[in-house]
Chains A and B, each alone.
Chain A
Amino acid sequence: MSCELSANTLHGYFDGELDAVRAAEFEKHMAACGECQRSLAVMSSLREGLHKADLYQTAPIRLRSRISEELGSQTRSTMTKWRWLLIPAVSFALVLLAVRVGSVLRQNRADFDRLQAELIDAHVRSLQPGHLTDVQSTDQHTVKPWFDGKLDFVPPVEDFSPQGFPLVGGRLDVLEGRDVAALVYGRRKHWINLFVWPEGKQAAVTSEGSRHGYNWLSWHAGDTQFSLVSDVSSGDLRELQQLIRH
């Protein structure tokens, strides 16, 4: 490559994995480097093709039910075996372990912002069959009026299909005891929940993080709180956040 920056940097930039300083350096370089501009365009074409081609394989229902059956039988057989072996020792160990696991779980929970835990719980709950949407439509003009009279605020509803985040629908959810709007977006074969609720005065800070493979991204705008939760990458969440903000 004739350009003095390594080709790798371009990929880090393309994936949003460079820190701000290196990203700015690369942008400066690219402005004057036709070769890098071209490479970046090739990578964009490639990515667009991969996303549009719908190559993601999801688990067939028979596989899910086979796994559930196996889990059931493994749990039972282990318990039967243990019951007849070393009952006192095992129960003592179990008690110790339960206390330990319990305290670890409580500790984790306390460390973790309670609201974020609720958000992820709400996201996981929504993935149970039949729970994702109350109103299923890709049309923002169907989804938005559906919330009329169900909430004491009007959530912004917009479809981002052209940008790769199709609106799937909406539903009511409950967070910390209050009703919130949940909008569902698709991203490839994954779901993203956008929780929206009014929240008085707050600093306009964005917070993000991940737990158990789920990423969240929360921000405040005007008097409204927004939270995105999904198992898609944090980069994807930031992309959707940009779309919602504009």
Chain B
Amino acid sequence: MLLAQEKIRFEQLVLPHVDAAINLARWLLRNPDDAEDVAQEAVLRAYRFFGGFRGGDARAWLLQIVRNSCYTWLEKRTPVELVTEFNEELHGGTSISPETVALQASDRTKLRNALESLPVRAREVIVLRELEGCSYKEISEVTGIPMGTVMSTLSRARERLAQILGGSARKEVSNEL
């Protein structure tokens, strides 16, 4: 009886966020097939741990499990990626014009490639904030980044993304010359 009730509660609270789960997995793993496998496994793991869910933000709770599953998956396959930190030299002073960014970002393929080329820790905050619409508090819950550091992490990630887009614009110009 209780198990059936728990299942219904799980279906009502957690399953509406399966899209969020697959979206996060897809951007962390950069491969739709792997993302499906890992997201499915993460949802089932969430089901097994559902007894430990104390209420609150079910989406953030599920995404936290999805993120952990993705990192475990990545650690097995690409250990280098995870230790790549932001290149601090790139950080600071955005020298790209809003027009250039707008132009580059209007090309879906370029934008997707730029986002995929970001280090995973930068990519995840952009995906959570811009695609998933998470608040800083939710980003902190999902990623474990302290509340006070979410803003600076996002700041670096966005500047990095703008610079990648600006860089590909410069490359085009020099190719044309």
Residues of A contacting B101 with CB < 8 Å? Answer: 42, 45-46, 49
A190 to B16, CA, bound (A): 11
Segment among B51-59, B69-77, B81-89 that sits at the interface with chain A? B51-59
Judging by beta carbons under 8 Å apart, are B2 and A94 in contact? yes
The A-contacting residues of B in range 150-168, CB under 8 angstroms, are 151-152, 154-155, 158-159, 161-162, 165
Name the residue of chain A whose CB is nearest to the CB of B159.
Answer: A7
Judging by beta carbons under 8 Å apart, are B3 and A234 in contact? no
Shortest Cβ gap from B5 to chain A (Å): 8
Does A136 belong to the interface (CB within 8 Å)? no
Name the residue of chain A whose CB is nearest to the CB of B91.
Answer: A7
Judging by beta carbons under 8 Å apart, are B111 and A213 in contact? no
Judging by beta carbons under 8 Å apart, are B18 and A64 in contact? yes
Does A157 belong to the interface (CB within 8 Å)? no
Residues of B contacting A176 with CB < 8 Å? Answer: none
Shortest Cβ gap from B69 to chain A (Å): 14
Judging by beta carbons under 8 Å apart, are B19 and A58 in contact? yes
Judging by beta carbons under 8 Å apart, are A56 and B40 in contact? no
Does A15 belong to the interface (CB within 8 Å)? yes
Chain B residues proximal to chain A, CB less than 8 Å: 1-5, 7, 10-13, 15-23, 26-27, 32, 35-36, 39-40, 43-44, 47-48, 55-61, 92-94, 96-99, 101-102, 104-106, 108, 111-112, 115, 126, 129-131, 133-136, 138, 151-152, 154-155, 158-159, 161-162, 165
Judging by beta carbons under 8 Å apart, are B23 and A57 in contact? yes
Given contacts A12-B151, A39-B94, A49-B111, contact A233 B16 (CB under 8 A): no
Residues of B contacting A70 with CB < 8 Å? Answer: 40, 44
Given contacts A212-B55, A233-B134, contact A74 B44 (CB under 8 A): yes
Given contacts A187-B133, A188-B133, contact A53 B18 (CB under 8 A): no
Interface size on A, residues (CB 8 A): 61
Shortest Cβ gap from A115 to chain B (Å): 18
Does A242 belong to the interface (CB within 8 Å)? no
Looking at chain A's contact residues, is the secondary structure mostly helix, strand, loop, or mixed?
A: helix
Judging by beta carbons under 8 Å apart, are B135 and A46 in contact? no
Residues of A contacting B133 with CB < 8 Å? Answer: 187-188, 190, 232-233, 235-236
A124 to B94, CA, bound (A): 42
In this complex, the member of A51, A67, A101, A124 whose beta carbon has the largest number of chain B beta carbons within 10 angstroms is A67
Per-residue contact bits, chain A 70-108, to B (CB 8 Å; 1 contact, 0 not): 110011001100000000000000100110010000001
Does A178 belong to the interface (CB within 8 Å)? no
Given contacts A66-B40, A75-B7, A213-B17, contact A57 B105 (CB under 8 A): no
A98 to B101, CA, bound (A): 56
Per-residue contact bits, chain A 122-157, to B (CB 8 Å; 1 contact, 0 not): 001001000000000000000000000000000000
A24 to B154, CA, bound (A): 21
Q: A124-B12, A212-B58, A231-B59 are in contact. List 7 more A-B contacts (CB 8 A).
A: A8-B152, A55-B115, A57-B27, A58-B23, A63-B18, A213-B60, A213-B61
Judging by beta carbons under 8 Å apart, are B39 and A59 in contact? yes
In this complex, the member of A10, A44, A189, A231 whose beta carbon has the largest number of chain B beta carbons within 10 angstroms is A231
Name the residue of chain A whose CB is nearest to the CB of B20.
Answer: A231
Judging by beta carbons under 8 Å apart, are A98 and B111 in contact? no
A79 to B136, CA, bound (A): 40
Q: List 25 A-B contacts (CB under 8 A).
A: A1-B93, A11-B155, A11-B158, A38-B94, A44-B98, A49-B104, A53-B111, A53-B112, A55-B112, A58-B22, A60-B22, A63-B18, A66-B40, A67-B40, A78-B3, A101-B2, A124-B12, A124-B16, A127-B16, A188-B131, A212-B56, A212-B58, A212-B59, A213-B13, A231-B16
Residues of B contacting A189 with CB < 8 Å? Answer: 19, 23
